[in-house]
Amino acid sequence: MSFKATLTVEGKSFNVLQCSHVLKQKNERGKVTSGVRGGSITLILDSTDEELFGSWATSSTAKKNGEIVFDRIDQQSALQKLEFEDAYALFYFELMSSENLTDIAAILDVSNDVFTFDLTEKNLYLDRLFSATKTILNFAERTRIGNCILLRLSAAKIKLDGIDHQNT
């Protein structure tokens, strides 16, 4: 099934190339031990000259509302709608490559050497940065799209196809 997805924030629309969102519960031996946690959204977007994402990601207090609409291309109807409220932009990573990326393994090897310069101290930021680099480079290699943005959001409230969820 083919679809087209659009992210809308502050009345501005952006083409979504890839999206994942998570609802999760902690468990112990198969028994749920916490409430549902949600609002984690990871997007890969077409590159844009809009400054919205950069300013959002560099502010520790900026929260935004928006929605991601997944439309069926073949039937011209909505497949799914994900709305979010009070979302922080936790991570912003923009890739701009003038050529198609063809040897991602070599780039990742070099990146891994750079990101793991101090093996004596576990650095969560570097782990996340390397993971994001790997994600966006693999996407660029697979799709041959060299200009894109990886954006991670954390929302206090999400609504998926009309079902509300509020993190507590």
Tens digit of each residue's pLDDT (9 = 90 or more) over 112-153: 555 555 544 556 666 777 777 778 777 777 777 778 888 999
Structural domain contains residue 116: no
Residue 25 is predicted with a pLDDT of 76
Number of domains within the chain: 1
Find, among 2, 42, 52, 35, the residue nearest to 21 by Cα: 42
Residues 39 and 105: their CA atoms lie apart, in Å, by 32
* Alpha-carbon gap, residue 56 to 149, rounded angstroms: 14
Of 97, 66, 71, 83, the C-alpha closest to 5 is 71
For residue 121, being part of any structural domain is answered with: no
Residue 113 lies in a domain: no
pLDDT digits (tens, 9 = 90+) for 83-94: 999 999 998 988
CATH number of the domain to which 53 belongs:
2.30.110.20
pLDDT at 148: 86
Query: Is 78 contained in some domain?
Result: yes
**Within a 10 A sphere around the Cβ of 59, how many other Cβ atoms?**
12
Q: Is the pLDDT of residue 168 over 70?
A: no
C-alpha distances (whole Å) from 85 to each of 16, 55, 94, 107, 159 are 18, 18, 24, 36, 9
Q: Is the pLDDT of residue 155 over 80?
A: yes
- Domain range spanning residue 19? 3-29+37-100+146-166
Q: What is the pTM of this model?
A: 0.76
Structure confidence by residue, pLDDT tens digits, 3-14: 799 999 999 999
pLDDT tens digits along 56-108? 999 999 999 999 999 988 877 778 899 999 999 998 988 877 665 555 555 55
Letter string b/e over residues 74-112, b meaning 16 or more CB atoms within 10 A of that residue's CB: eeeeebeebbbbebbbebbbebeeeeebeebeebbeebe
Q: Considering the domain boundaries, does residue 96 fall inside one?
A: yes
Asked if residue 139 is part of any domain, the answer here is no
Collapsed DSSP state (helix, strand, coil) of residue 10: coil
In a domain, 13, yes or no: yes
